[in-house]
Structure 1
Amino acid sequence: MGKPKRDPNSVDLANKIIEQYQPETVEDMQNALKDIFGPMFETMLKGEMDHHLGYSSNEKGNKRTEKRRNGYGKKTVKTSTGEVELEVPRDRDGSFEPHVIPKRQRDVSAIENKVIAMYARGMSQRDISSTIEDIYGFSVSHEMVSNMTDHVLTELEEWQTRPLQPCYPFVFVDCLYATIRNDYETKKYAVYTMLGYTMEGKKEILGLWLNETESKHKWMQIFDEIKTRGVEDIFFLSIDGVSGLEEGARAIFPAVTVQRCIVHLIRNSLKYVPSKDYKPFTAALRKVYGASSLKACRSAFETFQQQWSSYPGAIDVWKRHFSHVEQLFDCGSAIRKIMYTTNAVESVHSSYRKVTQKGAFPNENALLKVLYLRTKELEDKWEGGHIQQWAMVMNQLLIHDHLKDRVLKYLE
């Protein structure tokens, strides 16, 4: 493949810059561009003024009209190579509205989007300010960073109150904890996350909520809220076992099937098992919840109880919650694979922790801004994708008599 040809005008301009400035480093080249930006912007602004008045600066205007030049004003703008001072032409009646650099705009480097992107990745305001100064050569105060990211709050509020779809076949709920600084003390706040799978097999975060603790009352309020936002039905709800959450969910969505997370049950039972037995113990459990049928599951559970009877605490965890294991076999394997664990929402929390574990947040809004921006990144990543084997999942949902009519209702 031949070498692509450069625009001769561009090459000529580059040669003139090198000849004039003799740059030896990247910094020298940035300084040269900085010197060029000023005259370039000023020339463009003068051209806009000529168009606005209807005559050039070399021509005489009508002195009897108000459309006349009125000298220049000073303006410092921030560019990708640093601050540049400009002389901006003015007219007598103040009607000139430049487009290349609008009035009151002092940043032409698209810095705001860069600040928001850094904020979304968990960088502190201090770190953002230092990074901007290192890269672009001008400082950004903490207040300015806060003001830039505050623009997200309006968008966040709209997102939090947006209408939701009428049906989410699968919903996963969980909490993570983040630190908020109140005056001179710090406190852990629970972040309530609700992840849903749509009828089309797409992931959607239904919302984010903050509370000082995780409680069944808060979860019940959240379920009530999503109902008012348009959710009519949830087929399966996967939970980690918060006391009262199952009853609270059924109070709002009576037909929902609530599934305890098998992975959480494993963790709870391992508290009663010595570390040397972790592997054989979990391998025996896998034969229970991973059995091919309910009959095989019950048989494996009998064997499991006999094999590990020396750890009654661990056995008791599974006895108390065995109904949640049994109900898995009411569904096909593709559905079981989705509903048996809350890993889907825990994966979201893993992404959130990357931006929340770097220190305390000054207030609730600061925490919500970061989480919302992270959510938008996740949703962009999910765009266009589907849950694996979703067609098989939908076919298996239609097989069940108690689900068939509900599925068809929302497929129409």
Structure 2
Amino acid sequence: MTNGTEEPALSAADEQLLRELTERARAGGLKLTGEGGLLGKLTKMVVEGALEGELDDHLGYARHDPAGRDGGNSRNGHRAKTVITEAGPVEISVPRDRDSSFEPRIVAKRQRRLTGVEDMVISLSAKGLTHGEISAHLQEIYGAEVSKQTITAITDRVMDSMAEWQNRPLDPVYAVVFVDAIMVKIREGQVANRPVYLALGVTADGERDILGLWAGEHGDGEGAKFWLRVLSEIKNRGTRDVLMLVCDGLKGLPDAVNAVWDKTVVQACIVHLLRNSFKYASKRDWAQVAKDIKPVYTAVSEAAALDALTEFSAKWEKRYPAIIRLWENAWAEFVPFLQFDNEIRTIICTTNAIESINARLRRAVKARGHFPTEQAALKCLYLALMSLDPTGRGRQRWSNRWKGALNAFDIT
């Protein structure tokens, strides 16, 4: 059953005919796909038969029926047309009528692709291929020309589904929400980097839920004003509470979070904190700095972490005071994960949960170079996200290691 209707089954005679055709093809060495293949021949037979039936309905009589003589409109030969199918290019004969009023439905006028080719274009685009590469791929594999404009028109059809996905209702509570950004080049007068932010939630049932994509604005794209708008949107879509939000130290984010959910704990990503620390240190000191800072983020408690930071400061403050200030300024967002055991710490102390998704998005972006508009960039990223989840729901179950983390939160 599909959508409440039963699909018609093949009759015994139809199945017997298919078996005979298959056996005949095998015995004669006929290949299944490609030019001259069995699937192409069957497609041609079925489509042409359907077109003749449509013309019969249009004219009101069958071919060679005496009722059609001197009855006004009538058949007027055929015209050749090549359509792209999943079995390859197929040349069909399309019947015509004298007054050109026949409008076929199975292969409409100017239609060059049968159902399925659009899905192929969408899939190739989601994998990061440019429109030029998709056009070349279809030319090479199927021997048919599909213009870049046509490919753009096909991919533009996902905009409605993207808008529906971006505005869909969300869960009332998320145990953890991860936020991160990737940089995208967009041509606005001149090519410039723009951040596009992704939010990923962990549901009470252990599923990951991609909450949405947001293009950052110039100037205050990382500030409280921007994040207040994004988080308010998430709340307006039904999320009344988030227990913990993990980020990479984005400016203004803690204030924005507390303005939307006053009890949400904001956790800074430890990996990003370490990377930023090395920016202030000479490369020759990296190994020693890493060794000396490790007792801070592996401490058993906040008090022990503070003692470790004091020791680190005594050794490095004169040479690298910026590192000390970095950790002191991030302290409130650094310490929350210390209240959990080591198994849970490894999950919530970094944005690694979202980095694997961002890696896929970066591959898609890198293949394109830059985008003409913000909308074109978001469309590319949306297609890449949907390729990770064939259901189109944006949800996926985590591995079992998340069960412990979820049990640590009191979700009611």
- What band does the TM-score fall into relative to the shorter chain? 0.7 to 0.9
Match for 2:160 among 140, 148, 154? Answer: 154
Q: Flag the 1:37–1:351 CA change in 2: closer, same or farther, 3 A.
A: closer
Give matches, 1:7-406, under 5 Å. 7-15=19-27, 30-31=35-36, 38=44, 41-46=47-52, 56-61=62-67, 70-74=75-79, 76-80=81-85, 81-82=88-89, 84-88=91-95, 99=106, 101=107, 105-108=111-114, 110-183=116-189, 185-213=190-218, 214-216=221-223, 217-309=225-317, 310-358=319-367, 359-380=369-390, 385-398=397-410
1:111 is displaced (CA, Å) by: 1.7
In structure 2, C-alpha distance between the alignment counterparts of 1:376 and 1:132, rounded to whole Å: 22
1:137 is displaced (CA, Å) by: 0.9
Aligned to 1:3: none
Q: Flag the 1:305–1:63 CA change in 2: closer, same or farther, 3 A.
A: same
1:17 is displaced (CA, Å) by: 7.5
Whether the aligned pair in 2 keeps the contact of 1:164 and 1:231 (CA below 8 Å) is yes
In structure 2, C-alpha distance between the alignment counterparts of 1:170 and 1:131, rounded to whole Å: 41
| Greater Cα offset, 9-18 or 327-336 | 9-18
In structure 2, C-alpha distance between the alignment counterparts of 1:116 and 1:96, rounded to whole Å: 27
Q: In structure 2, the residue corresponding to 1:203 is in which secondary structure?
A: strand
Aligned to 2:15: none
Whether the aligned pair in 2 keeps the contact of 1:168 and 1:196 (CA below 8 Å) is yes
In structure 2, C-alpha distance between the alignment counterparts of 1:36 and 1:252, rounded to whole Å: 60
Partner amino acid, structure 2, of 1:315: I
In structure 2, C-alpha distance between the alignment counterparts of 1:128 and 1:54, rounded to whole Å: 42
Q: In structure 1, the residue corresponding to 2:408 is in which secondary structure?
A: helix
| Greater Cα offset, 143-152 or 316-325 | 316-325
Q: Flag the 1:149–1:198 CA change in 2: closer, same or farther, 3 A.
A: same
1:162 is displaced (CA, Å) by: 1.2
Q: In structure 1, the residue corresponding to 2:174 is in which secondary structure?
A: strand
Partner amino acid, structure 2, of 1:369: K
Whether the aligned pair in 2 keeps the contact of 1:176 and 1:192 (CA below 8 Å) is yes
Question: Which whole-Å deviations, capped at 9, do the CAs of 1:137-178 have from their partners, x for residues lacking one?
Answer: 111111101100010111111111111111112111222211
Whether the aligned pair in 2 keeps the contact of 1:289 and 1:297 (CA below 8 Å) is yes
Whether the aligned pair in 2 keeps the contact of 1:204 and 1:379 (CA below 8 Å) is no
Q: Flag the 1:317–1:78 CA change in 2: closer, same or farther, 3 A.
A: same
Q: Flag the 1:272–1:107 CA change in 2: closer, same or farther, 3 A.
A: closer
1:275 is displaced (CA, Å) by: 2.1
Q: Flag the 1:49–1:328 CA change in 2: closer, same or farther, 3 A.
A: same
Partner amino acid, structure 2, of 1:361: F
Partner amino acid, structure 2, of 1:236: M
Q: In structure 1, the residue corresponding to 2:233 is in which secondary structure?
A: helix
1:44 is displaced (CA, Å) by: 4.6
TM-score, normalised to structure 2, is 0.81
- The number of residue pairs the alignment matches comes to 385
Question: Which whole-Å deviations, capped at 9, do the CAs of 1:171-221 have from their partners, x for residues lacking one?
Answer: 1122221111235x2122221221111111211111111134323211111
In structure 2, C-alpha distance between the alignment counterparts of 1:65 and 1:287, rounded to whole Å: 94
In structure 1, C-alpha distance between the alignment counterparts of 2:360 and 2:227, rounded to whole Å: 22
What RMSD, in angstroms, separates the aligned Cα atoms of the two structures? 3.4
Q: Flag the 1:324–1:57 CA change in 2: closer, same or farther, 3 A.
A: closer
Q: Flag the 1:326–1:47 CA change in 2: closer, same or farther, 3 A.
A: closer
Q: Flag the 1:193–1:329 CA change in 2: closer, same or farther, 3 A.
A: same
In structure 2, C-alpha distance between the alignment counterparts of 1:134 and 1:354, rounded to whole Å: 23
Whether the aligned pair in 1 keeps the contact of 2:178 and 2:247 (CA below 8 Å) is yes
- Identical residues among aligned pairs (%): 30
Give the gaps of 5 or more residues in structure 2: 1-17
Partner amino acid, structure 1, of 2:408: Q
Question: Which whole-Å deviations, capped at 9, do the CAs of 1:289-332 have from their partners, x for residues lacking one?
Answer: 12334454344434434454554332332233334343322334
